[in-house]
Chains A and B, each alone.
Chain A
Amino acid sequence: MASIQQGSRLSTFAVLYRILARDILVAMRRQSDVAAVFFFFVIAASLFPLGSGADPKLLSSMAPSVLWVTALLSCMLSLSRLFASDFSDGTLEQMLISSQPLILVVLAKTFAHWILSGLPLVIIAPFIGLQFNLASESLQVLALSLFIGTLALSLIGSVGAALTLGLRGAGVLIAILVLPLYIPVLVFGAGAVTATTIGMSPQGALSLLGAILALSLVFAPLAASIALKIALE
């Protein structure tokens, strides 16, 4: 008995790890998809100074919202792919009828999505921030807020991706469903950076961002897995 219990306990982490590794491997076979999200972020963020003029003061006051909104949109762009390819080739159905809890599958896939579309933004955003004349302290807070925030974005987004799975026009629909839910993340994420640029402590906003992450970590995989079951019924 003991060995079986231990075996199943081990397999929980093994499942998480294997799905994660598999999703990243599959994505690496089609690197252009991953790169497209990354370049979208870089290009879209670079458009703003071209539209507003290159006044350094204006740029640094715009930077938190510009970078955060752009990050939010690029995270959203890749959401429709979260479950779509596994859904169309039947892998998702196999995952659903496997003995592993669907929540684990969702959690692993969401985490893979974050590594592929959130983490690159966290790394590149400070460099874009330099172009927007942000001070080094603000750049650190920007990276930290994006680190916490994009995780929450991927989690919340997984619900939208599961709800719109296999629908006509899922791409636009997902934006309508998910963007309103992203607003609190945007408010506190950009708020933390703005607070730093005007010399206030970003701690309050960052804590609230962490609270949103904790809340979405509990509820989002649950909601997404129920939505997946409905979609595959």
Chain B
Amino acid sequence: MSGLNMDTVKAKNGINWLKYASPKTFYPLAGRLIPWFSAGAFLLIAYGLYLGLLVAPTDFQQGEGYRIIFVHVPAAWFSMFLYLLMAGYAVLGLVLNAKLSYMMAKAIAPTGAMFTLAALVTGSFWGKPMWGAWWVWDARLTSELILLFLYIGYFSLQSAIDDTNRADKASAILAIVGAINVPIIYFSVKWWNTLHQGASVSLTKAPAMAAIMLQGMLVMALGFWLYSVAVIFARVRCEILERDNKAALLRQEI
């Protein structure tokens, strides 16, 4: 176990990142990191909710109802970001034939789908008072729905194939093909001229919202990030145990 100590690795020649590409070394590292990420996620989400619900001023057009964006917007960001990340791990898996990459991709999918569903549900809660309808067939809503379908397709394929090796590779290809759809989601606002208000946060021009609102959203996003890492690591650990056919890690655990 002493070989897994991060300090000794650092002392030798910087950090040997590839070391943790092996499930055996990643397993204990992830185990040690999960509590830190969980605690960070809890604190940041609590602080973000405090900023969003109590500190941020009431919007003069939308009233208090707008406050759902502190959950909605970061959830929508992460629904797309996690899909791209999943596709990234799928590429890594196919190129390097690294088992851990496939496991990461598989572990990311449920969290991504959860954020997609959260973005859709919170979006409809926001839409009812603002648009007067739970659902409108607007480009961004629709493409978020398509994203959910893509996640569902990924799960379905993954679970339909019994052979782990084939399941990993086939679903990796599906993730990559689906990822071509994600830029269309993001730029659909510009392509289809529809009901949805334009993007609230832009890098090229000054944001049209109060700084405190932006701050609340970014804190929430960071919190969601840490949460995702913690949950994904926990899921990868389960996956490693399940695939560990000699059950060496499992014996250690017990």
A159 x B153 contact (CB < 8 A)? no
Q: Is A176 an interface residue (CB 8 A)?
A: yes
Q: How far is the CA of A221 from the CA of B178 in the complex (A)?
A: 15
A230 x B160 contact (CB < 8 A)? no
**Majority secondary structure, B binding face:** helix
Shortest Cβ distance from residue B206 to the other chain A in the assembled complex, whole angstroms: 32
Q: Is A27 an interface residue (CB 8 A)?
A: no
B173 x A181 contact (CB < 8 A)? no
B146 x A159 contact (CB < 8 A)? no
Check A230/B170 contact, CB under 8 A, given A163-B157, A173-B160, A181-B181: yes
Task: Give the contacting residue for B173; candidates A168, A176, A180, A223; CB below 8 A.
Answer: A223
Q: How far is the CA of A178 from the CA of B208 in the complex (A)?
A: 39
Chain B residues with CB under 8 A of A163 = 157, 170, 173-174
Q: How far is the CA of A194 from the CA of B5 in the complex (A)?
A: 64
Shortest Cβ distance from residue A22 to the other chain B in the assembled complex, whole angstroms: 26
Contact-size category for B: 20 to 34
Chain A residues with CB under 8 A of B146 = 180, 183
Q: Which B148-189 residues sit within 8 Å CB-CB of chain A?
A: 149-150, 152-153, 156-157, 160-161, 165-166, 169-170, 173-174, 176-178, 180-181, 184
Chain A residues with CB under 8 A of B152 = 176
A227 x B149 contact (CB < 8 A)? no
Q: How far is the CA of A71 from the CA of B94 in the complex (A)?
A: 34
**Majority secondary structure, A binding face:** helix
Chain A residues with CB under 8 A of B181 = 180-181, 184
Q: Is A233 an interface residue (CB 8 A)?
A: yes
A173 x B176 contact (CB < 8 A)? no
Check A167/B161 contact, CB under 8 A, given A180-B149, A223-B173, A227-B173: yes
Q: Is A195 an interface residue (CB 8 A)?
A: no
Task: Give the contacting residue for A219; candidates B160, B178, B180; CB below 8 A.
Answer: B180
Chain B residues with CB under 8 A of A164 = 157, 160
Shortest Cβ distance from residue B192 to the other chain A in the assembled complex, whole angstroms: 8
Chain B residues with CB under 8 A of A181 = 177-178, 181
Q: How far is the CA of A231 from the CA of B178 in the complex (A)?
A: 19
Chain B interface residues toward A at CB < 8 A: 94, 146, 149-150, 152-153, 156-157, 160-161, 165-166, 169-170, 173-174, 176-178, 180-181, 184
* 19 pairs, A vs B, C-beta closer than 8 Å: A163-B173, A163-B174, A164-B160, A176-B149, A176-B153, A177-B157, A177-B174, A179-B149, A180-B146, A180-B149, A180-B150, A180-B153, A180-B178, A184-B181, A219-B180, A223-B173, A227-B173, A230-B173, A231-B166
